[in-house]
Amino acid sequence: MPTSAKARPSFLRVVSAVWMPGVGLAFTSAGFAAITTFSVLLFVQHRWARAWLPLTLFAIAFVIGRAALGHLPDRLGGIRVAMVSAAIEAVGLALIWVAASPGTALAGATLTGFGYTLVYPAFGVEAVREAPVENRGLATGAYTAFLDLALGVGNPALGLVAGHAGVGAVFLVSAFAVIGAMVVAVRIQGGVHASRRREALAGAD
CATH number of the domain enclosing 116: 1.20.1250.20
- Residue 100 DSSP symbol: S
* Mean pLDDT for all residues in the chain: 87
Domain containing 49: what range?
10-204
Per-residue pLDDT, averaged over 169-192, amounts to 90
3 domain-assigned: no
2 domain-assigned: no
C-alpha dihedral over 203, 81, 136, 62, to 10 degrees? -170
Per-residue confidence (pLDDT) for residue 190, from 0 to 100: 74
- pLDDT bin (cut points 50, 70, 90) of residue 130 is confident
Please give the model's pTM, rounded to 2 decimal places: 0.86
**Closest to 90 measured CA to CA, from 161, 143, 45, 24:** 24
176 domain-assigned: yes
Per-residue confidence (pLDDT) for residue 13, from 0 to 100: 76
168 domain-assigned: yes
Q: Is the pLDDT of residue 204 over 80?
A: no
- The number of distinct structural domains making up the chain is 1
163: amino acid identity, one letter: G
- CA 148 vs CA 101, 115, 127, 137, 154: distances in Å: 33, 19, 16, 17, 10
Q: Is the pLDDT of residue 96 over 80?
A: yes
139: amino acid identity, one letter: A
